[in-house]
Every structure is written in structure tokens, then in C-alpha cells.
Amino acid sequence: LVEQFLLSILSYECIWSPSCSIFVMVLFMQLIRPLFHLLSNLCI
């Protein structure tokens, strides 16, 4: 299921469709934000 989802994100037409690319960007931000928060806590 996850692999299919990733493949659909990486698929050519998905990358070039605005709605999907925005969705991917938001998804990335949701994944990256906690990581940055974790890193900043570790650095302090």
C-alpha cells in the first residue's frame, strides 16, 4: 500500500499536476517539521 502510494507520487503525471505536488509538499512538511524539532532539541 505504501509502495503504491510512493510510486503514484513519483509518477510523472503526479509530479506535474499542481494539486498533487502541493499535497506532496504538505506531506513533506508534516514529516520534516517533527524531525527538525527533534534535531533542535538534541542540539540544545
- Segment 1-44, tens digit of pLDDT: 678 777 776 666 665 677 777 887 888 888 888 888 888 888 76
Q: Do 24 and 30 form a contact (C-beta atoms < 8 A)?
A: no
Tally of domains within the chain: 1
Alpha helices by DSSP H, listed for 1-44, are 2-10, 12-16, 18-43
pLDDT number for residue 7 = 74
Query: For the whole prediction, is pTM greater than 0.85?
Result: no
pLDDT number for residue 38 = 86
Domain that residue 10 falls in? 2-43
pLDDT number for residue 37 = 86
pLDDT number for residue 23 = 80
pLDDT number for residue 4 = 79
